[in-house]
């Protein structure tokens, strides 16, 4: 089934895809990642390798770099994935490479991406992958890492919701939601996060909505 899925993609697809613009390109990347995450693999540790050919073809056409399902040219949107269906995902025990925790390829199970309208989010441009790590290297001594500022939660509490946990302010008003892909920490006040982006102020002047990645 997986082999059939991969071979159905025509050889000309990257170049033709890119002529349709960035929105169609990232839509396809997210569709491809979502569909691939639902495919069963005999060896879970093949999760990275089995799709690397398609990844590289798209990245070369985009004149960008990619590794572990994260495309540098669409870094922010690629980071905003969530588990789909499963209550929690299991970490895959890779032996020959270091797959970062912020990549969906580090876990087994299906995923989905946050539905974010184009042009309505200000991305944190200082967020990058560490410059000393090369996307195409497999050597475990080079560990991929996100370079950015780390934030913490203050004067907050949480309560369990249908999809995850609602974030409550000091007045117990709901201010946001967190969906964990793995088991959450026992103490919410010790959690740290990375801000990926926020709603453009011209579209939402009264309240600022942040998109975050919990560490």
SS3 assignment, position 23: helix
| Residue-level length of the chain | 215
**pLDDT tens digits along 160-212:** 887 788 999 889 999 899 988 887 766 777 888 999 999 987 766 567 889 99
Question: Position of tokens 């369990």?
Answer: 160
pLDDT higher than threshold 90 for residue 80: yes
pLDDT higher than threshold 70 for residue 5: no
111-124: average pLDDT: 93
First-residue to last-residue Cα distance in the chain: 34
pLDDT of residue 91: 92
Question: Between these two residues, 68 and 141, which has the higher pLDDT value?
Answer: 68
- Segment of 32-36, 65-69, 135-139, 188-192 carrying the highest mean pLDDT: 32-36
């Amino acid at each position: 089934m997986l082999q059939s899925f991969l071979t159905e993609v025509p050889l000309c697809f990257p170049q033709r895809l890119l002529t349709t613009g960035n929105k169609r390109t990232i839509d396809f990347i997210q569709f491809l990642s979502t569909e691939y995450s639902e495919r069963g693999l005999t060896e879970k540790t093949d999760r990275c390798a089995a799709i690397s050919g398609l990844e590289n073809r798209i990245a070369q056409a985009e004149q960008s770099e990619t590794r572990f399902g994260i495309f540098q040219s669409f870094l922010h949107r690629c980071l905003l994935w969530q588990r789909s269906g499963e209550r929690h995902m299991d970490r895959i025990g890779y032996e020959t490479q270091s797959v970062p925790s912020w990549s969906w390829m580090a876990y087994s199970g299906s995923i989905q991406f946050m539905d974010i309208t184009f042009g309505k989010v200000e991305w944190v441009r200082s967020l990058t992958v560490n410059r000393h790590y090369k996307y195409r290297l497999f050597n475990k001594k080079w560990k991929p890492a996100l370079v950015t500022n780390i934030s913490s939660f203050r004067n907050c509490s949480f309560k369990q919701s249908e999809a995850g946990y609602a974030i409550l302010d000091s007045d117990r008003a709901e201010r946001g939601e967190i969906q964990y892909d793995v088991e959450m920490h026992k103490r919410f006040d010790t959690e740290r996060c990375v801000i990926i982006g926020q709603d453009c102020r011209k579209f939402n002047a009264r309240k600022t909505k942040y998109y975050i990645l919990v560490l």
